[in-house]
Amino acid sequence: MLSFLGKRAVASAISLIGLVILVFFLSRLTGDPTNLYLPVDASLESRERFREINGLNDPLIVQFFRYAGDLIRFDFGMSVRRGEPALDAVLRAFQWTLWLALITMTLVTVAAIVVGSLAAFRVGGIFDRIATFFSLIGASAPDFWIAIVAIVVFSVSLGWVPTSGTGTVWHWILPVSVLFIRPFGLILQVVRGSMISTLSSAYVKTARAKGVRNRPIIFVHALRNAMLPVITVIGDQAAGLLNGAVIVETIFGFPGVGKLMIDSILQRDFTVVLAAIFVTAVAIFLMNILIDIFYAVLDPRIRY
């Protein structure tokens, strides 16, 4: 197990190093960095002073190793617009995104597994058809359209829930509900397909022949063997939320890392943008390792 996790950790670390290199050189390919951080009408003296203060007159390789050394110390520089360390601003916003992703994916996972398993048990039945119909609609509908319709119907027309903020439970209902729909549809379809295949296997038929009840067959015997592809999709969907539900957070004014990145790009606060990319990447790599642990627990063959 430790050897397996060690290999996955090394692979993640290599990917993270590649991301750091990519982010650094892509930021330099945009041209003169002073065009990113300073106003368009900044004077030549201001630009030259900015280059000197930030070491932009040094050779590119020197700048890169300085940049990498700062990252090792978790020093992303100061936020130009906020007047605070960029990492502090990102971590403060990231905790909101983390809670939003955790709540959403918990609800999605439980609902999709239960509904998908029951739909697979009676393939072609009424429950299966209804579940499949709504899951396909949910997987196909764009988030921004659902968010706008939800605001118009439930906030503007009915006045049931607020449109933005995080002050009360009511503020969370629309963001969580909108983010719930797409992953629920996708995961439900994977659960249903995997369970159909598992329920047709020989050991399930043997359990039925011995008189084992339906509930243990579905949720004890079949579900564990059907979970490997499901975990993969759950990990992908959770990574998408950790990566910043940019559109949903922006529409609902949710103070997560996605909205922070959009605001920072518009404000030309690129130290915050780079810090957000790094923190998000680390979170996704850690989550992938966690998924690998679940793989190894569910199927011991993966450890070898």
Task: Give the DSSP H/E element, type plus range, for residue 210.
Answer: none
Q: pLDDT tier at 235 (50, 70, 90 boundaries)? A: confident
Residue 304 has pLDDT above 60, yes or no: no
pLDDT given at position 299? 65
- Domain(s) of CATH 1.10.3720.10: residues in the chain: 87-303
Rg of the chain (C-alpha set): 24
CATH homologous superfamily, domain 87-303: MetI-like (1.10.3720.10)
Q: Is the pLDDT of residue 288 over 70?
A: yes
pLDDT class for 286, splitting at 50, 70, 90? confident
Digit-coded pLDDT (tens) for 204-215: 667 667 666 666
Range from 27-36, 176-185, 209-218 that averages highest in pLDDT = 176-185
Distance, in Å, from the CA atom of 193 to the CA atom of 230, rounded to the nearest integer, reads 10
- pTM of structure: 0.77
* pLDDT, position 107: 92
Confidence class of residue 15 from pLDDT cuts 50, 70 and 90? confident
Q: Which residues pair with 85 in a beta bridge?
A: 78
Residue-averaged pLDDT of the chain: 79
pLDDT at 264: 80
| Cβ-Cβ contacts under 8 Å for 145 (sequence gap 6 or more) | none
Q: What is the largest CA-CA distance in the chain?
A: 86
How confident is the model over 87-127, as pLDDT tens digits? Answer: 888 888 888 888 888 899 899 989 998 888 888 877 778 88
Torsion angle in degrees (nearest 10) through CA of 206, 211, 213, 214: 50
Please tell me the least confidently modeled range out of 21-25, 112-116, 145-149, 221-225.
221-225
Name residues whose C-beta falls within 8 Å of residue 65's C-beta, 6 or more positions apart in sequence: none
Q: Which parts of 206-280 are beta strand (E)? A: none
Query: Is it the case that residue 220 has pLDDT exceeding 70?
Result: no
pLDDT in tens, 63-94: 888 888 888 888 877 777 777 888 888 888 88
β-strand partners of 136: none
206, two tokens: 């043997």
What pLDDT sits at residue 204?
Answer: 66
